[in-house]
Amino acid sequence: MTTQILISGFGGQGVLFAGKFIAYKGLLEEKEVSWLPSYGPEMRGGTASCSIIISDEAVGSPIIANPDVLIAMNLPSLDKYEPACVPGAKLFLDETLITRKVTRTDVEAFYIPATQLARDAGIPTLGNMILAGNMIRETGIVAMEGVEEVLKKVISAKHADLLQANLHALQIGYQYTKEML
């Protein structure tokens, strides 16, 4: 099986980091993975995105045209990528920042007030990991078990103090439930 995950938001929301975390989790589960960032001028203050592929087979093209999973952290990201998602795709939206609903009826949407939940928990910059946690729960693409080991690999020694906060954010997202709209 091959899953194509696209994460998109403003530069600074931790889009690339969340993507690296998911890709590394896949790697440690002995899957084939690729991670490709947008590195154009748009990531300097505009929309940043990254494409993660997790597969049982060798990854061909690392470029994603039609995601199976979309994590959208701002409205421009939803506007841009909602039409591109495959039918049956799972969309994870930061409800605090995206006020509109998904218009397509052939995809599953999960609305998580990630930014608000992060603020309430005193970790205001970790909405990205709350969304990642919820994505793990709802898709099962990678397991929640062993995430701490992955965080140790993706968080640099300089920021080691943020490991617990990231773990907390993942757990908030993983536990968050609301009736699907």
Nearer residue to another protein within complex by CB, 42 or 120: 42
Coil, strand or helix at 178: coil
| Residue 91 near residue 112, CB atoms below 8 Å | no
Nearest alpha-carbon partner for 98 in 75, 76, 81, 115:
75
Question: How far apart, in whole angstroms, are the C-alpha atoms of residue 143 and residue 139?
Answer: 9
Determine if 11 is a binding residue for another protein (CB under 8 A): no
Residues in the chain: 181
SS3 content of the chain, % helix, strand, coil (to 5): 40, 20, 40
In the complex, the smallest distance separating the C-beta of residue 131 from another protein, rounded to whole angstroms, is 20
Which residue stretch of 26-34, 78-86, 90-98, 100-108 sits at the interface with another protein (rule: CB under 8 A)? 26-34
Figure out which of the listed residues 5, 9, 24, 118 binds another protein, where binding follows CB under 8 A. Answer: 24
Coil, strand or helix at 112: strand
Nearer residue to another protein within complex by CB, 75 or 163: 163
Binding mask 32-51 for another protein (x = CB under 8 A): xxxxxx-xxx----------
In the complex, the smallest distance separating the C-beta of residue 123 from another protein, rounded to whole angstroms, is 24
Applying CB under 8 A, the residues found at the interface with another protein are 20, 23-24, 27, 32-37, 39-41, 59-63, 65, 153
